[in-house]
Amino acid sequence: MPPRARRGIRERASPTPQEFQRLSKKLKVLSNSAQYEQAYEFTRTLLREYPGNVPIAFWEAVYSAEDDEGFSRAEVTRRYASAARKIRGLLRRLRGVDSNIRASIRNEYYWFSRQPYKQYRLGVELVKAGRTRSYYSQGVGATMIARSFGLRGNVKPCIRWAKRALLALRRFSRLHPEWHNAYFFHAMALGYLGRIEEMEEALRDIAKHSGKTADWRAIGKLRTEIMEAVETIEHA
C-alpha cells in the first residue's frame, strides 16, 4: 500500500483534536442532562467510526452502564461488571493518551469495579499532582466507603468517611457547580451525617442541574437508598 494511503487510514483512526473537543462537549451535555440512552447511542456510533480509538472506546464502556434507572440491583451489577471488563482492557493501552483522559479511565474503572478505596486514593493522588477535578474521585470513593460502613451499622467510620466525602465534594462543586452527578453524592454524605434537610436540598440540586423535575425516579430511588443506610445507622 502506498505511504499516502497508509497515512489516510491512520488519520481516520481518530478524530482531529478540534473534532474530538466538539464530540466531548456534546457528550458532556447529554450526560449532564441525564440523557444516558442518547449518550450511549452516540458513543456506539462513534466507536463504529473510530474502532481503535481508546477515549471513544472508554466513552462507550461508561455509557453502556451509566443508566441504572429501571434496572434491578442484579442487573446493575451485571452491567457494571461488563463496563469494568471493557475499561480494564483499555488500561493496557494508555500510552500516548491525554493525562486527563487517563485519569478519567482509572476513575471509572474503580467506580464500575466497585473499588471505592482505590477511587478515593486515586483522587488524593491526582489532586496532589494539581488535577483539582479529582476532588470528585475523592468524594465519590469516600461516599461509597461511608455507605458500606453505614449499612453494616459501623457508625464512627461511616461518619468519618462521610465528612471526608463532603469536604471533597464541596471543593469540587465550587469549581464545577453545574455537574449534577456530584449532588447525588452530596446527598448521600449529608444523609449519613444525619443532616436530612441539607440532604433534601442536595436532591433538589440534582434536579436543578440536570434539568429534571423533583419527582425524577432516580432521585426517589436515591432517597430510598440513603434512608436504608440512615435507618441502620440510627439503630446501631
102-111 pLDDT per residue, tens: 999 999 999 9
- Averaged pLDDT, 95-101: 93
- Of the three residues 83, 114, 145, the one that is the final residue of a domain is 114
Which of these, 201, 202, 163, 206, lies nearest to 186 by C-alpha position? 202
What CA–CA distance (Å, rounded) separates 203 from 187? 6
Given this model, what pLDDT does residue 236 score? Answer: 87
**Using 50, 70 and 90 to split pLDDT, how confident is the model at 203?**
very high
Q: Are residues 183 and 93 in the same domain?
A: no
- The amino acid occupying position 217 is R
Domain that holds residue 98: 1-114
Q: Are residues 236 and 124 in the same domain?
A: yes
Q: Are 146 and 158 in contact (CB under 8 A)?
A: yes
Kindly tell me if the per-residue pLDDT of 4 is higher than 80: no
Q: Are residues 140 and 203 in the same domain?
A: yes
- Averaged pLDDT, 216-224: 95
Q: Are residues 103 and 162 in the same domain?
A: no
Q: Are residues 128 and 177 in the same domain?
A: yes
- Of the three residues 62, 89, 114, the one that is the final residue of a domain is 114
What CA–CA distance (Å, rounded) separates 12 from 31? 26
Total tally of structural domains belonging to the chain: 2
DSSP code, position 97: S
Q: Are residues 83 and 179 in the same domain?
A: no
- CA terminus-to-terminus distance, the chain: 71
Per residue in 8-67, pLDDT (tens digit) is: 334 457 899 999 999 999 999 999 999 999 999 999 999 999 998 999 999 999 999 999
- Of the three residues 81, 114, 147, the one that is the final residue of a domain is 114
Per residue in 162-198, pLDDT (tens digit) is: 999 999 999 999 999 999 999 999 999 999 999 999 9
Q: Are residues 162 and 232 in the same domain?
A: yes
Given this model, what pLDDT does residue 12 score? Answer: 57
Q: Are residues 18 and 131 in the same domain?
A: no
Given this model, what pLDDT does residue 7 score? Answer: 39
The structure's pTM equals 0.91
Q: Are residues 120 and 108 in the same domain?
A: no
Q: Are residues 211 and 167 in the same domain?
A: yes
Given this model, what pLDDT does residue 129 score? Answer: 96
70/18: higher pLDDT: 18
Q: Are residues 134 and 229 in the same domain?
A: yes
Q: Are residues 207 and 99 in the same domain?
A: no
CATH number, position 109: 1.25.40
What CA–CA distance (Å, rounded) separates 229 from 194? 11
